[in-house]
Amino acid sequence: MDAPSELGDFLKSRRAALRPEDVGITPHPTRRRVTGLRREELATLASVSITHYTRLEQGRATHASEGLLEAIARTLRLTDDETAHLKDLARPAAASHRVAPHRVAHASASARQLLAAMTDVPAVVMDRRGDVLAWNRLGHALLAGHLPPEGPGTPATRPNLTRMLFLDQQYRALYTDWHDQAQLAVASLRLVAGRHPDDRSLAELIGQLAMNCDEFASLWARHPVRTCTSGVKQLRHPLVGAMELSFENLVIPGTSGQRLIAYTSEPGSPSEAALRLLGSATDCPTASGAACAAGRPPR
């Protein structure tokens, strides 16, 4: 990815989102051509040189100090995630040095063993790009029962949950709040891309999505940035219907960004019953899974 260009676009998007009134500037009703902050206004508010800020936004300032970036972040009212993203984009060499040499990722034997032991909890192991490296039976049934269960076993057949969210109609249909999930997915991908500017596979994924999905391209152009470690998913599963599941996103130490994501339901809730019903379907032959989920014996 072109870090200088990404930095400039990110800063411009955040300047445009901040109204002059928000920072105590009264705009002239006839002389103002932009709705957001001008470069010189931002530089003045952040107490930095307009020349220095302009060079930064144009990608020509290669040694931005911590103090400068913090001042700009405060002025633009960036979140913690956005501030971290700004620093990654402004200092791509430092971000690159944090990246381990590229290797084909695999889930460890202990991670796969842990997944197998989680018989009542849907769970998957993913890399930082969203490639599924392993899943347990219930995780497969919950997220991608229409795909071969052995898919994560080899790089050529691995599902990618971000790609599926935009390009796989059956996976899209799983989410009742798809637009919210799409925004979160893009925001998370932006954060990862800023941290790993030399990841070719990640750049290829982003390019593929931008070329094949206008919704992704539109969201990507807005430069959302956000990380998400836990939350709630609103799902409508084709076998068992509506479910509200909590999820936890746990980083696996020493794996260059691999994560274990587990989904749980509120005890005694209809979602718990639906999840239990889905679990019973995973014990049935594939051809009769729907019948098992409906409580009917397989033929």
pLDDT in tens, 70-91: 999 999 999 999 999 999 998 8
Tokens matching residue 264: 């749980």
Residues of the chain above pLDDT 90, percent? 65
The CA R_g of the chain, rounded to the nearest whole Å, is 23
Residue 100: pLDDT band (50, 70, 90) is: very low
Three-state SS for 259-280 is EEEEEECCCCCHHHHHHHHHHH
Tokens matching residue 141: 């049934």
The answer to whether position 103 is within a domain reads no
End-of-domain residue from the set 43, 63, 97? 97
**Which string of b and e fits 66-77 if b means at least 16 CB within 10 Å?**
eebbebbbebbe
For residues 250 and 133, membership in a common domain is answered with yes
Q: What is the mean pLDDT of residues 160-182?
A: 97
**Higher pLDDT, residue 63 or 166:** 166
For residues 66 and 126, membership in a common domain is answered with no
Amino acid occupying residue 189: L
What is the CB-side half-sphere exposure of residue 15 using CA atoms within 13 A? 20
Q: What is the mean pLDDT of residues 118-136?
A: 96
What is the CB-side half-sphere exposure of residue 172 using CA atoms within 13 A? 10
pLDDT tens digits for range 206-260: 999 999 999 999 999 999 999 888 999 999 999 999 999 999 999 998 888 899 9
Across all residues in the chain, what is the average pLDDT? 87
- pLDDT value of residue 221: 94
The answer to whether position 102 is within a domain reads no
CATH number, domain with residue 67: 1.10.260.40
For residues 271 and 178, membership in a common domain is answered with yes
For residues 235 and 205, membership in a common domain is answered with yes
Inter-residue contact 257 to 289 (CB < 8 Å): no
**Higher pLDDT, residue 29 or 263:** 263
The answer to whether position 299 is within a domain reads no
- pLDDT value of residue 104: 66
Inter-residue contact 293 to 280 (CB < 8 Å): yes
- pLDDT value of residue 281: 80
C-alpha span between 83 and 34 (Å, rounded): 24
For residues 217 and 284, membership in a common domain is answered with yes
For residues 118 and 69, membership in a common domain is answered with no
For residues 115 and 58, membership in a common domain is answered with no
For residues 228 and 282, membership in a common domain is answered with yes
The least confident of 14-18, 54-58, 60-64, 285-289 is 285-289
- pLDDT value of residue 235: 98
For residues 173 and 242, membership in a common domain is answered with yes
For residues 248 and 186, membership in a common domain is answered with yes
- pLDDT value of residue 36: 85
The answer to whether position 196 is within a domain reads yes
The answer to whether position 104 is within a domain reads no
Residues of the chain above pLDDT 70, percent? 86
The answer to whether position 180 is within a domain reads yes
Q: At what angle do helices 50-57 and 3-17 cross, to 10 degrees?
A: 120
- Comparing CA positions, the residue from 212, 213, 189 lying closest to residue 201 is 189
**How many domains does the chain contain in total?**
2
Output the pTM of the full model.
Answer: 0.84
Residue 4: pLDDT band (50, 70, 90) is: low
pLDDT tens digits for range 18-51: 888 777 776 665 566 667 888 998 999 999 999 9
End-of-domain residue from the set 37, 63, 97? 97
Residue 285 main-chain phi, psi, to 5 deg: -60, 150
Q: What is the mean pLDDT of residues 44-59?
A: 90
End-of-domain residue from the set 97, 126, 157? 97
Domain span holding position 231? 109-293
Which residues in the chain belong to E strands, given as ranges?
123-126, 132-135, 230-237, 241-251, 259-264
